[in-house]
Structure formats: structure tokens, C-alpha cells
């Protein structure tokens, strides 16, 4: 799988559910170019087990992303109707009621394929029949896309492995720190800690102080 980091994020226009109760046509991340950074993440399927914990965790931290002028957007290979039903199912019944950020419907799997997170591929068997090798869902991919529409960070987890939402926030902070101060962020950096200049002197000073 080739990386998208440093490249323009693939463009799409698809159906999505926004505000937990409204289905819209032609939803696109292009609307945020020049305005907001985007955290765009994939999850395998609605009405599953690890997935609701992730979507609800992003909702719990949504104010922190919004404070940083970051738009959170989710996507899976389910239909917009499945998204809508899941969004209107109570948490105690395995639903994600209360999630307000957009969830994109990738029923054709073309978005997951464009972002390199489809957990399998279409092929033909010995009889010439179309088959799908692997799982016809998306891995748990996450992409941090800057205001220019360029992917600056990505991480892909296998299906059983849930993500750390605080780590996504940390990467947003690191990107903003670099953009605002020109300093690079060393290992385990977090907001408020010392960064460094991208030079031999900067590295030496940082290592001496830490």
C-alpha cells in the first residue's frame, strides 16, 4: 500500500449523514480546503462492536477538535440509511445516538480503495466469476488533512484494534505547532512541551536539555 502522506487527499462526492439526522447528497471534503483541517477516519461497519466505542470517543472529544478548527468526518462501506439507523439507536442497544459529525456512505467501496484502506480486493476465480478476496470493509484508517487538502499524517489499524483519539489530537497539535512556530516536534511531544529547530544545533540542544 503506497502512502498518501504528502499528497493531495483523494476527492469524492458521496451521500452522508450530518448532525445525526440529515441525509445529504454530494458530501465532499473539498468544502474545507482553505478553511479547516480535517480528521477523516474509516471504520469497518455500522452495528458492530469496536466501532461504536471509537465513534463515541471522537464525539466526546469533538469540542477539542472544533476548538482547533478541525472538522471530524467518519466513513464506512455502509449505506446512508444504515448510518441513519445506527445514529438513531440508543447506546444501550449498541447504537451511536448523540454523534453529530458527518458520516460518509461508501457503499461502492471506492473511497476506501482510493485511500488505500480497503481490507481486500476484487478478483476473478478460475471460472471467471467476480470474487472479493479479503474482507469487503475498510481498515481503521485515519488521515489528517491540512487546509490545503494535503495528507500530513495517517495511521491504519487492523480490524480488531481500536484507535486512540487523544493521539489524533496530539498530531493536530503537532501540525499546528510546526505551522505556527516552524519548530519540529520530537518523539512523545505534546502541547506545552519543548520542540526544536530542524538543525544539528537544534537537535543537540534538545537532547542536552532532555
- What digits encode the pLDDT tens for the residues 23-39? 999 999 999 999 999 99
Is the separation of the CB atoms in 111 and 14 below 8 Å? Answer: yes
Distance of CA 89 to the CA centre of its chain: 23
Which residue is catalytic, options 16, 38, 39, 51?
51
Cα 150 to Cα 37: distance, rounded to the nearest angstrom: 9
Cα 90 to Cα 82: distance, rounded to the nearest angstrom: 14
Angle at alpha carbon of residue 68, lines to 196 and 23, rounded to 5°: 140
- pTM of the shown model: 0.94
Cα 2 to Cα 117: distance, rounded to the nearest angstrom: 10
Domains in the chain (CATH in brackets) are: 14-162 (3.40.30.10), 164-210 (no CATH)
Q: Which residue ranges of the chain lie beneath pLDDT 50? A: none
Beta-bridged to residue 41, according to DSSP, are: 74, 142
Return the pLDDT at 105: 98
Beta-bridged to residue 40, according to DSSP, are: 73, 143
Return the pLDDT at 1: 55
Tell me 198's DSSP state.
S
Return the pLDDT at 5: 98
Q: What is the mean pLDDT of the chain?
A: 95
Active site residue 185: no
Tell me 210's DSSP state.
-
Half-sphere exposure (CA, 13 Å, Cβ side) for 209?
11
Amino acid at each position: 500500500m503506497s502512502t498518501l502522506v504528502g499528497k493531495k487527499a483523494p476527492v469524492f462526492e458521496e451521500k452522508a449523514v450530518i448532525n445525526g439526522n440529515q441525509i445529504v447528497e454530494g458530501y465532499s471534503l473539498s468544502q474545507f480546503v482553505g478553511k479547516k483541517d480535517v480528521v477523516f477516519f474509516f471504520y469497518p461497519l455500522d452495528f458492530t462492536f469496536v466501532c461504536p466505542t471509537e465513534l463515541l470517543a471522537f464525539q466526546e472529544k469533538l469540542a477539542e477538535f472544533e476548538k482547533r478548527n478541525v472538522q471530524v468526518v467518519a466513513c464506512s462501506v455502509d449505506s446512508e440509511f444504515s448510518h441513519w439507523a445506527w445514529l438513531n439507536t440508543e447506546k444501550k442497544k449498541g447504537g451511536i445516538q448523540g454523534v453529530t459529525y458527518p458520516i460518509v456512505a461508501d457503499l461502492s467501496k471506492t473511497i476506501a480503495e482510493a485511500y488505500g484502506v480497503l481490507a481486500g480486493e476484487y478478483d476473478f476465480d478460475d471460472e471467471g466469476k467476480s470474487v472479493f478476496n479479503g474482507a469487503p470493509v475498510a481498515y481503521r484508517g485515519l488521515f489528517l488533512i491540512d487546509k490545503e487538502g494535503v495528507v500530513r499524517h495517517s495511521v491504519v489499524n487492523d480490524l480488531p484494534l481500536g484507535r486512540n483519539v487523544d493521539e489524533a489530537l496530539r498530531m493536530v497539535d503537532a501540525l499546528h505547532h510546526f505551522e505556527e512556530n516552524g519548530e519540529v516536534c520530537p518523539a512523545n511531544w505534546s502541547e506545552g512541551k519543548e520542540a526544536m529547530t530542524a538543525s544539528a544545533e537544534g537537535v543537540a540542544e534538545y537532547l542536552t536539555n532532555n
